[in-house]
């Protein structure tokens, strides 16, 4: 159906899935890569850097922003984007907690 039954799951599970979904596209991973390489910002530069049309980049940036992975500030007629640390930390802590939990495992399958 293409419709996710979000009401069946916890708020935490839905929020985590939403943050992960924002990063689950190579173009958006590439945007993060680029943002890291230039420290911060320069929005139209992303359009020049990636082989995608401007409306497509704009859409990807919107999704990253809505998920709280990047933030943008208006600077005259252009918009400066940079990575928002907060949700990245949440993700690192999530995967860290999975690994910690695995270390305490008693049972396991496959040798």
Partner DNA sequence: AAAATACATCGTAATATTGCAATGTAATAA
Partner DNA sequence: TTATTACATTGCAATATTACGATGTATTTT
Tell which positions 13-52 bind DNA, by CB under 7 A. Answer: 21, 24-25, 27, 43-45, 47, 52
The one segment of 32-40, 59-67, 94-102, 103-111 that binds DNA by CB under 7 A: 59-67
Nearest to 39 by CA among 72, 83, 71: 83
- 18-30 as b/e: b if 16+ CB within 10 A: ebeebbeeeebeb
Residue with tokens 């293409």: 2
69 half-sphere exposure, CB direction, 13 A CA radius = 24
- Which of its own copies, DNA, none is residue 14 near (CB under 5 to 8 Å by kind)? its own copies
Using the rule CB under 8 A, is 55 a contact of its own copies? no
Compute the distance between CA of residue 100 and CA of residue 23 in angstroms, rounded to an integer: 23
Using the rule CB under 7 A, is 69 a contact of DNA? no
Residues that bind its own copies (CB under 8 A): 4-6, 8-10, 13-14, 16-18, 20-21, 23-30, 32-33, 36, 38-41, 50-52, 71-73, 75, 80-83, 85, 88-89, 91-92, 95-96, 98-99, 101-102, 105-110
């Amino acid at each position: 159906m293409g419709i996710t039954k979000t009401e069946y799951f916890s708020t935490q599970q839905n929020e985590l899935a939403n943050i992960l979904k924002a990063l689950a596209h190579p173009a958006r991973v590439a945007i993060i890569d680029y943002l890291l390489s230039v420290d911060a910002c320069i929005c139209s530069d992303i359009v020049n850097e990636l082989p995608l049309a401007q409306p497509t980049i704009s859409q990807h940036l919107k999704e990253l922003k809505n998920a709280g992975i990047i933030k943008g500030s208006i600077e005259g007629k252009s918009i400066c984007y940079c990575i928002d640390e907060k949700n990245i930390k949440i993700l690192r802590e999530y995967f860290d907690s999975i690994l910690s939990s695995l270390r305490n495992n008693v049972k396991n399958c496959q040798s």
